[in-house]
Amino acid sequence: MADRYLGFTGTAPGRFLTRRLGLPQPAALIRRTGGRPRFDGGLLHLTAGTSDLDLAPVLARTGLTPGAGHDPTAVVLDATGVRDVDTLAEVHAALHPVLRSVAVSGRVVVLGAAPDPADHHQAAVQQALEGFTRSLGKEIGRGRTVNLVRLADVTAAESTLRFLLSPASAYVSGQVIEVGDEEVTAPDDWEQPLTGRTALVTGAARGIGAAVAETLAGQGARVVVLDVPGAEAEARALADRLDGTALALDVTAADAGERIAAALPDGLDVLIHNAGVTRDRRLVNMPAERWSSVLDVNLASVLRTTDALLSSGALKRGGRIVATASIAGLAGNSGQTNYGASKAGIVGLVRSLAPRALAEHRVTVNAVAPGFIETRMTAAVPLLIREAGRRMNSLGQGGLPVDVAETTAWLAHPASGAVNGQVVRVCGQSLLGA
């Protein structure tokens, strides 16, 4: 369903009226398209404190022009050298004069270092950067995003910087992303990084799952479209369009993992856990079946199939697991104790499995946590609740399935091997929760 308010605020009368009434004025977001895979404007590189990061080669490969123009499309602030309150003041001094000039739907990326447990002054000010970036994201407006990347190695962070400094990250703001120092290998083609890789997407016949399948296929992956037998016709139609394969399978089956492995004798490189259901009702009115059905699809099936595919070796070394959480699992939601529990469980899975899967299988484990995304399900939500969902985030609008898909594709990227154990909210920096 079209966001008519967003369209109205894009007109001259709409801007005048909403400004006079003090109403939200969301800006139409610039998203990645075939004709515009990257931004082509100017990039301003600033530094707070003393840093020895050699950012120039990586930033030059983003498509942006370092130092060009008076209205930069993006600003990158290297604050990895901030170690005390005095140098923290340099963050303010660097950004204060330039923020008004950042282009509509532009990007601000702050680079930080991991807090040092042996230096409580450094730990304090590096943690302060988190509060700073989250707060700046809530006030910067005009469709612009602000994110913090904690990194140890610039090369390992290239896929993350390319993502955050591109139109692909339009609905990702206020996030803190930690990038480790794992050695990564750049793809031969950054526009087709998944060429030669096989990706399986569960719940892929429609909605967000279909958008994920389309995005991965667009980046070169051979996609396996998995959905329940009742959606087989839709799954096959999508698979045919993407030159992929359809797999009709109930992921809650006890042997689902073994059946997936059998269907993919050459193995799997990317596993996307997207299948999910809702059975909303307040706990006092919720029968056991509504509880168990949601937990079985959204969490138990993810645990079982992940274990089976890892232990059998069907998920190859260097592989990627991306699961779908939700802001309902992070902040809670009335009437969704079952759904919130299942999605918080995904967060627990990621945090526990990620270090072991990387050490034992060279597989990364991450999650995306969507907020209000414009789908057929949200189109059926009553008008006032739908409008509240759209406006209660820093970007003042709902996201699109492609926003979740683009974030998933970044986490599935072969050069994202140093991004592990992360739960990234795709919510326009929702005002619910942290």
Looking up residue 80, the CATH number of its domain turns out to be: 3.40.50.720
Give the pLDDT band (50/70/90) at residue 6. confident
3-class DSSP state for residue 243? coil
- Does residue 7 lie within any of the structural domains? no
Number of domains in the chain: 2
Q: Are residues 382 and 317 in the same domain?
A: yes
- Does residue 186 lie within any of the structural domains? no
In the listed set 133, 151, 179, which residue is the last one of a domain according to the structure?
A: 179
pLDDT in tens, 116-148: 999 999 999 999 999 999 999 999 999 999 999
pLDDT value for 111: 98
Cα distances (Å, whole numbers) of residue 281 to 127, 167, 234, 388: 38, 37, 29, 20
Alpha-carbon span 2 to 126, nearest angstrom: 41
Alpha-carbon span 6 to 23, nearest angstrom: 12
- Does residue 15 lie within any of the structural domains? no
- Does residue 433 lie within any of the structural domains? no
Q: Are residues 340 and 284 in the same domain?
A: yes
Alpha-carbon span 142 to 103, nearest angstrom: 8
pLDDT value for 68: 66
Alpha-carbon span 370 to 372, nearest angstrom: 7
Q: Are residues 126 and 238 in the same domain?
A: no
- Does residue 172 lie within any of the structural domains? yes
Q: Are residues 292 and 411 in the same domain?
A: yes
Q: In the predicted model, is pLDDT for residue 262 greater than 60? A: yes
Alpha-carbon span 141 to 347, nearest angstrom: 29
- Asked whether the beta carbons of 157 and 149 are under 8 A apart, the reply is yes
pLDDT in tens, 14-54: 888 888 888 888 899 999 987 677 898 999 999 999 999 99
Alpha-carbon span 11 to 363, nearest angstrom: 48
Q: Are residues 150 and 241 in the same domain?
A: no
pLDDT in tens, 182-223: 999 999 999 999 999 999 999 999 999 999 999 999 999 999
Q: Are residues 54 and 156 in the same domain?
A: yes
Q: Within 13 A of 293's CA, how many CA atoms are on the CB side? A: 11
Q: Are residues 223 and 136 in the same domain?
A: no
Pinpoint the alpha helices (H) of 206-273. 207-218, 232-241, 256-263
pLDDT value for 294: 98
Torsion of CA 281, 285, 289, 291, to 10 degrees: 50
Q: In what order do the strands lie in the sheet with 222-227?
A: 245-248, 222-227, 198-202, 268-273, 315-324, 364-370, 423-426
pLDDT value for 4: 85
- Asked whether the beta carbons of 273 and 306 are under 8 A apart, the reply is yes
Q: Are residues 172 and 226 in the same domain?
A: no
pLDDT in tens, 290-300: 999 999 999 99
pLDDT value for 378: 75
DSSP letters, 48-81, are EE------HHHHHTTS-EET--SS-SEEEEEEEE
pLDDT value for 101: 95
Q: Are residues 230 and 304 in the same domain?
A: yes
In the listed set 146, 179, 212, which residue is the last one of a domain according to the structure?
A: 179
Encode burial over 257-266: b for 16+ CB neighbours within 10 A, e otherwise: bbbbbeebee
Q: In the predicted model, is pLDDT for residue 380 greater than 60? A: yes
Backbone angles phi, psi at 262, to 5 degrees: -65, -35
pLDDT value for 423: 98
- For residue 346, what are the domain limits? 198-426
Hey, which residues are catalytic here?
339
Q: Are residues 175 and 212 in the same domain?
A: no
Q: Are residues 73 and 102 in the same domain?
A: yes
Q: Within 13 A of 243's CA, how many CA atoms are on the CB side? A: 9
Q: Are residues 127 and 223 in the same domain?
A: no
What percent of the chain stands above pLDDT 90? 85
- Does residue 431 lie within any of the structural domains? no
Give the pLDDT band (50/70/90) at residue 339. very high
- Does residue 22 lie within any of the structural domains? no
3-class DSSP state for residue 114? coil
Alpha-carbon span 109 to 77, nearest angstrom: 6
pLDDT value for 193: 97
- Does residue 41 lie within any of the structural domains? yes
pLDDT value for 10: 86
Q: In the predicted model, is pLDDT for residue 379 greater than 80? A: no
In the listed set 179, 206, 223, which residue is the last one of a domain according to the structure?
A: 179
- Asked whether the beta carbons of 242 and 217 are under 8 A apart, the reply is yes
Alpha-carbon span 166 to 38, nearest angstrom: 5
3-class DSSP state for residue 272? strand
3-class DSSP state for residue 270? strand
Identify the DSSP state of 156: G
Alpha-carbon span 411 to 424, nearest angstrom: 10
Which pTM does this prediction carry? 0.96
What percent of the chain stands above pLDDT 70? 98
Alpha-carbon span 227 to 272, nearest angstrom: 12
